[in-house]
Structure 1
Amino acid sequence: MSPHAPSDEELTSLVHDAVAAPSMHNAQPWHFRYFRGTRTFELLADFDRAMPHSDPDTRGLHLGCGAALLNLRVAVIHEGRHPETRLLPDPTDPAMLASVRLTGSAGGESDLAALYPAIHQRHSSRYPFEETQIPEAVREALGAAARGEGATLSFPTSWHLRDVLELIQEAEARNVTAPDRDQDLAQWTQLDAHSATTDDDGVPQYAFGPRKRGGRAPMRDFAGARQVAGRDAADFERNPQLALVSTVHDRPEDWLRAGQAMQRVLLLATLKGLSTSFATQPFEWTDLRWPLRDPATGTGYQQLLLRLGYGPKGPRTPRRPVTEVLDIRP
């Protein structure tokens, strides 16, 4: 073990880094417990922050918690410790998603340690990206990052990309006419300026980005049918660059692995100068998720869709205070 136990300030700093992770609609559906006696963090799902209409099976919730877990691992390694990680350590408790024991000095984990500077630089960007193609070497590096967490990253092209974009459009059309979808959106977005600067979760109006006037980028309009005063419109990419994260199986453990892979890709992308956002719309409809896969291979389960490119960095969105998400116990 490390020669000294982490102080409360160090524990707070580690969780501060962990919760910089993205989550669906910035719901932040996680809670952490730390046990001094075993030097172990526990990551628990906060099912009160689930979205019953958009994410009824809590797959998206697990993805966000997986991203927070990856951030925690990176931060622990950055501090010179080793994070001995177990997924779903208690099969009788579905809220117990992972444990991370601080077992000693970090070693052989330089790839993860190098990602640390990106933890607080990464923000979702809902602005237009340039048409500049991502170099093949960067794509290969991002794919290797996903494989490091037991997932696959693929870049749809040609007719597969057209199919994916059509599925996103179908999901967006359904969301407009499905009254229950507005409930999740209304709960986790803030339109008035006061709430946007005082709330510590959800998506504030300043992070919505402009309305899409043209282009094929798969942008969700977080305003829905509501009007946002002074909001601009913009043309987005004609040729969006999308990436699918997939896993061999489709269990909660796989969702957590996919969330870690997602975050590892996002952090590396940030270091490579890329901006990123998400397209979750087709994953919110069971019958639209399966056709996202590449028909040429027909293998794996698609877990999430990333939009990558060169463009403006997104604004920082709020986070709950660490005091609300961390319990320190003997």
Structure 2
Amino acid sequence: MKTGVMPVGPLSASQVRSVLLTATAPSPFRIARPWRFQCTPDAIELYTDVPAASTDSDQRERLLNCGVALLNLRLAIKAQGSHPDVHLFPTADRPDLLAVVRPQGHETNAPHDQTLADTIADQRSNRRPFTAAVVPPSVQRQLRRGAEIERGWLATITAEQVPALREIMRRAEVPPATPGPGGGTDLDLEPDRLVVVVGTLHDTALARLQAGQAMQRVLLTAGAAGISAALSSQAMAVPATRRELRQLLGGGIWPQIMLRLGHGTAVASPAHALLEDVVISDEHPFDARSPDGVARRGSR
């Protein structure tokens, strides 16, 4: 068992603490922080619980959530002037070990990555109505590029596809959005609003972990540009619905999460986790048998 926060590679203990605090920003998902970090002398490891009984939707959302934490960790390490060397699913017989991240050497942080790292603390899902203001094409291009950097794809729901999407959601018994003047509901399907889908070429655990990183880079890029975002996982909850949405998007990508992007009013900052609750140590082990991913004292 390792001892919680400690020096890792070229990073001091205080730098590691700063990195982990940044990486533990509140998650936009309903499954709150299904992951833990563990420090070793040369790496920070990312773990998740693997419930024996869970739906495909829960498994997908869990890995997307972990991908969010992983990108935050990478950006935070870069902000400390070190290069994050990442190995995903490094051990075949340990499905709970998602990634090993080794800080290495010195690397000058690119201004764009620093901006994204600075945006992490202010990120939050905004479910309030959005205004009618459009997201500029230049920002939309940045969002697509952000997804591609993380081996994901960003597909935009076109005005012509909105009626079919409404029908898909209706058959899945998901109430369609009925936006009022200048606003909307959880998922705003008005043709002049920006609704996008983050997808991957495959639908494996690895692809879903990458999709979580792609989604987070999209969300941070949007936040840095002053754009609010609201997540919609309802349309992904039913396998048949996901397949229909996949066909609507041309059949080339697996949809992983849907986002509504636009200009919204400010929302309150969510509470941050205590660092001791998300870092594995003797005092705070991570019990993979716990269905909610919460550490249980004395269990290992």
TM-score range, shorter chain: 0.7 to 0.9
Matched, 1:298 2:251: yes
Match of 2:151 in 1: 150
Q: Any residues of structure 2 matched to 1:1-330 within 5 Å, and which?
A: 5-36=10-41, 38=42, 40-47=43-50, 52=54, 55-56=57-58, 58-107=59-108, 109-173=110-174, 214=180, 217=184, 219=186, 238-239=190-191, 240-293=193-246, 295=248, 297-327=250-280
Contact 2:26 2:271 in 1 (8 A): no
Q: With structure 1 as the length reference, what TM-score do the two structures score? A: 0.75
Contact 1:23 1:63 in 2 (8 A): no
Contact 1:29 1:64 in 2 (8 A): yes
Displacement after TM superposition at 1:165 (Å)? 3.2
The CA distance in 2 between the partners of 1:270 and 1:45, in whole Å, is 27
Compared CA separation, residues 299 and 291, structure 1 to 2 (3 A): same
Match of 2:3 in 1: none
Compared CA separation, residues 51 and 308, structure 1 to 2 (3 A): farther
Contact 1:23 1:65 in 2 (8 A): no
Displacement after TM superposition at 1:13 (Å)? 1.8
Contact 2:81 2:109 in 1 (8 A): no
SS of 1:246's partner is strand
SS of 1:158's partner is coil
> What's the Cα RMSD here?
2.8
Once superposed, which parts of structure 1, at least 4 consecutive aligned residues long, lie more than 6 Å away? none
Compared CA separation, residues 171 and 212, structure 1 to 2 (3 A): same
Which blocks of at least 5 consecutive residues in structure 1 are unaligned? Answer: 175-210, 221-235
The CA distance in 2 between the partners of 1:122 and 1:21, in whole Å, is 8
Compared CA separation, residues 258 and 237, structure 1 to 2 (3 A): closer
Displacement after TM superposition at 1:300 (Å)? 1.3
SS of 2:172's partner is helix
SS of 2:103's partner is strand
Displacement after TM superposition at 1:23 (Å)? 4.4
Contact 1:23 1:61 in 2 (8 A): no
Cα-to-partner distance string for 1:124-156 (whole Å, 9 max, x where unaligned): 001000111111111011100100000110111
Cα-to-partner distance string for 1:289-329 (whole Å, 9 max, x where unaligned): 11113546321111110110001133222232110111369
Cα-to-partner distance string for 1:38-92 (whole Å, 9 max, x where unaligned): 2x010001346x9935834x11100000011001111110110110011111111
Name the aligned partner's letter for residue 305 of structure 1: M
Name the aligned partner's letter for residue 313 of structure 1: A
Name the aligned partner's letter for residue 12 of structure 1: R
SS of 2:215's partner is helix
Name the aligned partner's letter for residue 281 of structure 1: Q
Contact 1:124 1:315 in 2 (8 A): no
Name the aligned partner's letter for residue 54 of structure 2: P
Q: With structure 2 as the length reference, what TM-score do the two structures score? A: 0.82
Contact 1:21 1:67 in 2 (8 A): no
Moved more, 143-152 or 98-107: 98-107
Cα-to-partner distance string for 1:78-122 (whole Å, 9 max, x where unaligned): 110110011111111111111100111124754323311110111
The CA distance in 2 between the partners of 1:139 and 1:129, in whole Å, is 17
Contact 1:160 1:294 in 2 (8 A): no
Name the aligned partner's letter for residue 57 of structure 2: D
The CA distance in 1 between the partners of 2:95 and 2:256, in whole Å, is 19
Identity %: 30
Which blocks of at least 5 consecutive residues in structure 2 are unaligned? Answer: 1-6, 283-300
SS of 1:119's partner is helix
Compared CA separation, residues 170 and 15, structure 1 to 2 (3 A): farther
Moved more, 315-324 or 4-13: 4-13
Contact 2:81 2:106 in 1 (8 A): yes
